[in-house]
Amino acid sequence: MKNKLKFVVIIAVMICSFKIELFAGETSSSMRPTKFNTLQERMQYEYDQLKPSTIYGKIVDQHGNVVSGATVSLSWEGAEFLIGKTPERHEEVVLTDNNGLFEYGHGKTVRVSLQAEKDGYDGRSATALEHVIHPKTTNENPVVLTMRKMEAPSFLIKRDSPAKLLWTEFKEPAEKSVDLLDYGKKNSLPIGQRYIDFTVKASYAESNQSWKVVYKADGVNGVLCADQLLYVAPETGYKKEEVLYCSSPSERTIYLYVKSRDPAIYSRVVLTHSAWIENGVNNCFRVMCQTWINPCGERLLEDDLRVDYDTEKELVKEATEAILSKKHMPKPDVPLRVKQNKEKLEAISTKAASRRT
């Protein structure tokens, strides 16, 4: 199965108080009537002024390199609703050229949506999710959309559903030791097999009226805080301690990269910090957590989306056993494992069916 992800961008012309920004530009004030007898007359005039136009676009990756051969699906509705008619919906597909450029001519419209896709690219990290054409694009000045070029996919142990890591209230300090393998599983590992990848401490600082949060690593472990989501963990720069402050009320998300254990494994931890005041007196603080762990000793943190549920369960068990044995998990051939599991299930299903007959 191909790893194909989609990127959706909406290009819209804004309508506000019956003032329309046109793709092809507005008429001059000297040509525009100063008064309309009815709203219907006003909207008919606006509809008549709309002109067919062309969207010029360019797709690049996160490094600014052009993305050629991307499939761009465009859809738009006519502006007939302005004059009380049901608009027709139109759809078209174009490809970006060797310079990452595309163009598409459309009729009278106030809304055009784009959906771009290409194998090996992830549009979810796009730097632009919405564009307004002012008043039109040109071949020299296209609207630029960004898709992230993905790293080589890897099997990751992930807990991508946010779970509570730490909670406190009434300005009380709180501390939590985190085993990334056991986190979110309600202490499923025996005490002798648990490990502290890092600790988190929260305390209220009266001096600046904010929560002080300390992430600390001991022994061979290291932590590194960043504001950027990375798909390759940093090679260097890990510290024994990272400190941040959260004022109340506020919400702040950071990315904690963890290098821990021996032999070393790399993890990405998404931490959402929330501080708020209840009933004007109760100062509360909470940290929610999501984790991605590469059990193979690689710094790659691009999740392999080809893995299915049953295969993931098997691989998580194998990875956990390897890490607890102080070994790296051999990098699995995910497509092969998925295929073998499907064949296994099909064989079981065929055998069960033959028994019934």
Number of structural domains in the chain: 2
- Domain for residue 354, yes or no? no
Which of 149, 183, 209 terminates a domain? The answer is: 149
Q: Which residues pair with 93 in a beta bridge?
A: 73
Residues 140 and 228 in one domain: no
- Domain for residue 109, yes or no? yes
Mean pLDDT is lowest, of 118-132, 183-197, 260-274, for 118-132
Residues 126 and 175 in one domain: no
DSSP H stretches of helix in the chain: 39-49, 309-324, 334-356
Q: Tell me the C-alpha distance between 101 and 54, whole Å.
A: 13
Residues 271 and 162 in one domain: yes
Residues 255 and 124 in one domain: no
Q: What's the token pair of residue 75?
A: 């859809």
Q: Tell me the C-alpha distance between 159 and 255, whole Å.
A: 14
Query: Which residue would you say has higher pLDDT here, 331 or 8?
Result: 331
- Domain for residue 340, yes or no? no
Residues 227 and 247 in one domain: yes
- Domain for residue 256, yes or no? yes
H-run or E-run covering 56: strand 53-60
Q: What is the pLDDT of residues 45-99, one digit of tens each?
A: 888 888 887 888 899 998 999 999 999 888 877 888 888 888 888 888 999 999 9
Residues 207 and 292 in one domain: yes
Residues 163 and 67 in one domain: no
Q: What is the pLDDT of residues 332-355, one digit of tens each?
A: 999 999 999 999 988 888 888 787
Q: What is the pLDDT of residues 112-169, one digit of tens each?
A: 778 888 999 986 644 333 333 344 678 888 888 889 999 999 999 999 999 999 999 9
For residue 54, what pLDDT is reported?
A: 83
Instruction: Grade residue 105 by pLDDT with cuts at 50, 70 and 90.
Output: confident
Residues 48 and 167 in one domain: no
Q: What is the pLDDT of residues 205-227, one digit of tens each?
A: 988 889 999 999 988 999 999 99
Which of 107, 124, 149 terminates a domain? The answer is: 149
For residue 199, what pLDDT is reported?
A: 96
* Beta pairing class for 250-260 and 53-60: unpaired
CA 245: distance to chain centroid?
Answer: 25
Range of the domain at 313: 157-334
The DSSP annotation for 65-77 comes to -B-TT-EEEEEEE
Query: Which residue would you say has higher pLDDT here, 245 or 127?
Result: 245
Which of 130, 149, 168 terminates a domain? The answer is: 149
Residues 64 and 140 in one domain: yes
Residues 204 and 250 in one domain: yes
Q: Tell me the C-alpha distance between 292 and 232, whole Å.
A: 12
Q: Tell me the C-alpha distance between 222 and 70, whole Å.
A: 40
Residues 249 and 275 in one domain: yes
Residues 106 and 35 in one domain: yes
Instruction: Grade residue 271 by pLDDT with cuts at 50, 70 and 90.
Output: very high
- Domain for residue 353, yes or no? no
Look up the CATH number of the domain holding residue 141: 2.60.40
- Domain for residue 57, yes or no? yes
Instruction: Grade residue 232 by pLDDT with cuts at 50, 70 and 90.
Output: very high
For residue 123, what pLDDT is reported?
A: 66
Query: Which residue would you say has higher pLDDT here, 115 or 285?
Result: 285
Q: Tell me the C-alpha distance between 140 and 250, whole Å.
A: 42
Percent of the chain scoring above 90 in pLDDT: 54
Task: Provide the 10 A C-beta neighbour count for residue 42.
Answer: 15
Whether pLDDT at 19 is above 60: no
- Domain for residue 175, yes or no? yes
Over residues 17-39, the mean pLDDT reads 52
- Domain for residue 345, yes or no? no
Residues in the chain: 357
Q: Tell me the C-alpha distance between 127 and 300, whole Å.
A: 22
How high is the mean pLDDT of the chain?
Answer: 84
